[in-house]
Structure 1
């Protein structure tokens, strides 16, 4: 009996030890000096508020871990390898897709403390931590004469932006944000710290450009910065009317095809809400220089009429990034979806009109939803962007410069969690309707039959990101993920699209 009791006690103690070991938060807190924050602590509460969407903030991690460097991240990953907990890694928290950078009941690794920016003034090579946001890195580089080819909204974290590709005001000059990466300091799923370059591991290097969070944790981005002086930019807004619709849709179509100045960029956004019956167009205009050439943006300004608002002016790039944060809707659930379309010819301009009308029809069905703000952005994706991206670095997106395209960004923000499923269905109906119109136009020869990947940074969780890549890109991502993560740490225990 004593022997049986002793054996039972040994088994019980062993089981309890496994259970304790299985708790990443307790293990990190008790065996390392890494900062661990629990739900009642101020740092935990503050970090949970740093999501663009309240649906992500509503997912409560068991703790938030704040590593300060690569070795600390490696320790956390090593501990995660001893258990089966789901976890997430967060850069800026701008992805509104639940569990892409958020988690319920498991540990959240926040990169907030890894926000260093070191620049070699002679070469423009920058080492930047994933805890940086675009406005932060722009401010740190201000005065150096260099800048990072980042996105358009300052509050965006550089980690998610770069791993998804990253579309920039300067993409016609330099390709994707990822095109400027020359190396990654990466914590592999087996907790090994390595530096990935085009020569050290070309397949992994390529897979990190458009492959998302499937290959480990990037702790430093080694970037080639670009020379930067004063820029010109801001927003122009117009009240919506059928005439304004037609003129702006034609203006953005013509800009995509005919603009030959890679320093110029535009985003043309239609927005509507039930708040004070707002129904408007908001334009983002940018020129990489203190003043745009005469007539550069005439089709977006004087040809349309007198704007309600015009904030365009000469400014620093850091100022533009900080100014852009007005677009973030506080205390709201946000959903973002996307489609890529071939640019219609002048004779088939009605396709853009049809897509815009489709968006208006679908968004009309949810205008009574509390706090609703609906928008669709028409973003030029000319051959120049594809050409610059391909010439600088291979990536999974791999768009050839064979046609001009547009990337559409579709946004719905609203207040109540009870409306989440309805709004997810609305989002799906919106981008599916765009896709159906494109396929129908291609079948009758009104649009060219070209490769149309989904842009990861704008993708909705229901969209098939890897399924829309070229088969060889999808297979490369799958094979690399299986090679570097044979036990499926990132492939099975984190959110996001999986190859």
Structure 2
């Protein structure tokens, strides 16, 4: 994709706070050469087909930056050697798993090395101990396909092409209501530390690092394997996608509110992802809402029936024996290459505030129909007190959600433009809009401080939202495992507060 000088300047400015300036350009080129001396067939430069393939793997064009090379390892030992070399030579580098994030600099850089975990496709299923060992190069449809064979499922993302970075942030999933967040269902991480050593972090080995990785992101090392819990599901479940048009929009926020405070709390086998989008091409709102009911039943339970009593356009809910096809169905129509920005805040579930936020986002979206390929997406996703308690039972995380007494709602706001050239003004306005919603929620006394990593923008203070105690804990873990600050100073993304 062609990037003008002004756009590269914009992108550079966006990530300058997270990426140190190189000593000189020659040093950055040398970093690739250092790796090539050891791995001559795994370093890929601009102009090669593999470089193009790795660049095209990013979901958002705003994240397809200009590293000097991609390093494409096959095994953990190669990652360990590379990280040790990059650290010792003070080389800027990034790590990309699925690349399905819109936060500029989270998994890429300008003028450095990007370690692409594309080849880490391990999917080992232990149906006796209910553990799946998965590599960070997997997309979730691949993991679903592996676990479907055993009628088991992990607490994974719902969309086929989303990758494992979700497992370091928080993780919303079909199984959240009964099992909690994705991070709380990782039982072990294989981690390459800054000095090139490899450790297994679990409740029994390096438990501080294990806990830090449950929300602490890429601040401590490179995860080369996740061991996750998997759970049985019935011979068939009810799942599918319900498409709604403008006719359903007057009812949608009430349905979303009731899901937050009723079904998600009292009928834990249910799952819905409440969302609607505004299509700039049609000037209309629409919704493609994923459903799952983890029970071998012929129809939806009463708690979900109101969702199909309102006008809908298309309904694929059916009994199915596999979840991988659902992930593809959810993902249909989403593709790489557009300019994307995600932002998020967290509020306490509130019917009137739900309605007002939707009204305001709809009005905002209508003002951008002149942008080619414009789309706006808004989701409302619950985190219940039970989900938080499951995290505590599983050893705790660093998100700072303990003590909530009512359901939270993760408010997702996303905007899309076909052309990167249109993104500067759109993204700035989007930032301003979401800040106005944050202030509105704060004025109403319904704002929670938490900012979910998985849906954040580069300039949202994610880790700062975890609370002072968790910030101090993360800083202590970073000092213990990365005393030279490699992952704070040489690797981009959401960094620990100073």
TM-score, with structure 2 as normaliser: 0.89
Where in structure 2 are the equivalents of 1:334-349 lying within 5 Å? Answer: 334-344=340-350, 349=351
Q: Is it true that 1:257 corresponds to 2:261 in the alignment?
A: yes
Alignment correspondent of 1:5: none
Alignment correspondent of 1:193: 198
> Which residue of 290, 295, 299 maps to 2:302?
295
CA separation of 1:33/1:417 partners in 2, compared to 1, >3 Å: closer, same or farther? Answer: closer
Where in structure 2 are the equivalents of 1:479-490 lying within 5 Å? Answer: 479-490=476-487
Q: Which moves more between the two structures, 258-267 or 282-291? A: 282-291
| Distance apart, 1:495 and its partner CA | 1.3
Provide the secondary structure at the position in 2 that maps to 1:301. Answer: helix
> Which residue of 398, 407, 415 maps to 2:400?
398
| Distance apart, 1:154 and its partner CA | 1.3
How far apart are the structure 2 equivalents of 1:258 and 1:121? 33
| Distance apart, 1:91 and its partner CA | 0.5
| Distance apart, 1:190 and its partner CA | 1.0
> Which residue of 437, 446, 451 maps to 1:454?
451
Decide whether the 8 Å contact of 1:172 with 1:263 is kept in 2.
yes
| Distance apart, 1:269 and its partner CA | 1.4
How far apart are the structure 1 equivalents of 2:27 and 2:256? 58
| Distance apart, 1:293 and its partner CA | 4.3
Alignment correspondent of 2:50: 43
How far apart are the structure 2 equivalents of 1:198 and 1:308? 47
| Distance apart, 1:413 and its partner CA | 0.6
| Distance apart, 1:453 and its partner CA | 0.6
Decide whether the 8 Å contact of 2:241 with 2:330 is kept in 1.
no
Alignment correspondent of 1:426: 429
Provide the secondary structure at the position in 2 that maps to 1:212. Answer: coil
Please tell me the root mean square deviation across aligned C-alpha atoms, in Å: 1.9
Alignment correspondent of 2:161: 155
How far apart are the structure 1 equivalents of 2:175 and 2:246? 28
Decide whether the 8 Å contact of 1:186 with 1:193 is kept in 2.
yes
Where in structure 2 are the equivalents of 1:21-420 lying within 5 Å? Answer: 23-32=30-39, 35-57=42-64, 59-158=65-164, 160-229=165-234, 230-241=236-247, 244-259=248-263, 260-291=266-297, 292-302=299-309, 304-305=310-311, 307-315=312-320, 316-344=322-350, 349-400=351-402, 401-420=404-423
CA separation of 1:129/1:34 partners in 2, compared to 1, >3 Å: closer, same or farther? Answer: farther
How far apart are the structure 1 equivalents of 2:394 and 2:333? 31
Alignment correspondent of 2:464: 467
Deviations 1:236-260 (A, max 9, x none): 122225xx33422111111211221
Q: Is it true that 1:496 corresponds to 2:484 in the alignment?
A: no
CA separation of 1:492/1:21 partners in 2, compared to 1, >3 Å: closer, same or farther? Answer: closer
How far apart are the structure 1 equivalents of 2:260 and 2:282? 33
**Count of residues paired in the alignment:** 466
Provide the secondary structure at the position in 2 that maps to 1:81. Answer: helix
Decide whether the 8 Å contact of 1:34 with 1:67 is kept in 2.
no
> Which blocks of at least 5 consecutive residues in structure 1 are unaligned?
1-17
Q: Which moves more between the two structures, 399-408 or 458-467? A: 399-408
Decide whether the 8 Å contact of 2:244 with 2:286 is kept in 1.
yes
How far apart are the structure 2 equivalents of 1:484 and 1:419? 42
Alignment correspondent of 1:10: none
How far apart are the structure 1 equivalents of 2:250 and 2:465? 30
Decide whether the 8 Å contact of 2:28 with 2:112 is kept in 1.
no
| Distance apart, 1:19 and its partner CA | 6.1
How far apart are the structure 2 equivalents of 1:343 and 1:433? 18
Q: Which protein, 1 or 2, shows the higher relative CO under an 8 Å CA cutoff with sep ≥ 6?
A: 2
Provide the secondary structure at the position in 2 that maps to 1:437. Answer: helix
TM-score, with structure 1 as normaliser: 0.89
| Distance apart, 1:200 and its partner CA | 2.1
Deviations 1:120-145 (A, max 9, x none): 22111221111111001111222123
CA separation of 1:371/1:141 partners in 2, compared to 1, >3 Å: closer, same or farther? Answer: same
Alignment correspondent of 1:437: 440
How far apart are the structure 2 equivalents of 1:170 and 1:268? 15
Alignment correspondent of 1:3: none
How far apart are the structure 1 equivalents of 2:415 and 2:492? 21
Deviations 1:288-330 (A, max 9, x none): 234354423222111x22x112122222111112222215244
CA separation of 1:407/1:20 partners in 2, compared to 1, >3 Å: closer, same or farther? Answer: closer
> Which blocks of at least 5 consecutive residues in structure 2 are unaligned?
1-24
How far apart are the structure 2 equivalents of 1:290 and 1:44? 46
How far apart are the structure 2 equivalents of 1:311 and 1:339? 31
How far apart are the structure 1 equivalents of 2:426 and 2:478? 32
Name which one, 1 or 2, has greater alpha-carbon Rg.
1
